[in-house]
Amino acid sequence: MEPERVDSKSFGCFAHRKSLMRSITLPRSKSLKRSASANSNAVVTPRKTSTREEELKQVFRRFDRDSDGKISAVELRAYFASIGEYMSHEEAQGVIQDLDTDGDNLIDFADFLRLMNKEVAAGEDHEEDIKAAFEMFEFGKGSGRITPKSLQRVLSRLGDVKSQDECEAMIRVYDADGNGELDFDEFYQMMA
């Protein structure tokens, strides 16, 4: 199977930002460590928690294959190939140029950290947009739920007339708790 080719025009000046962000998963920090005793009672002892920066360093190391503290175009391409996405050398160089602040044509940890912090801020804006959309579809202001009727009403206002049955089917797809309505978490999963 050939790796997926990413269209550089679809992401603007940083062609692989969305792919890069999608591919980065922070390791879960563990604040508690369990030590089992002979009788199934477990003793819970505190463990040092990782800071976000420490977690990002772990992610950075996934890209930095030669452990020199910098990500080169070759390392960036290798990482994307490892997750099944094709990135040309020119595209990798473009990403490097977009992020590199010291002119060495490499991404150091400070550059990487700036990118991650920008993306976190953008993600917070995205959540606010989803909250606003949820409120537009809510059954009643502050009700915290979208019913088939409220979905039908809003879609109709938007010029997309649906039957009650169609709206029920749409909700059923994301209705994790099976109550026939969407709460914010279910709506967020649908929009994500």
Phi/psi zone of residue 54: left (φ > 0), alpha (ψ -120 to 50 degrees), beta? alpha
* Domains of the chain with bracketed CATH: 4-114 (1.10.238.10), 138-191 (1.10.238.10)
SS3 103: coil
Give pLDDT tens digits for 2-24: 433 333 333 333 334 444 544 44
Q: Summarize pLDDT for 33-84 with one digit per residue, the tens.
A: 333 333 434 444 444 445 878 888 888 888 899 999 999 999 999 888 877 7
Specify the pLDDT at position 50. Answer: 56
Q: Is the pTM of the predicted complex or chain greater than 0.75?
A: no
**Average of per-residue pLDDT across 106-126:** 77
Q: State the Cα–Cα distance between residues 60 and 69, nearest whole angstrom.
A: 9
Tokens 């002892």 locate to 45
Pairing of strands 32-36, 107-108: unpaired
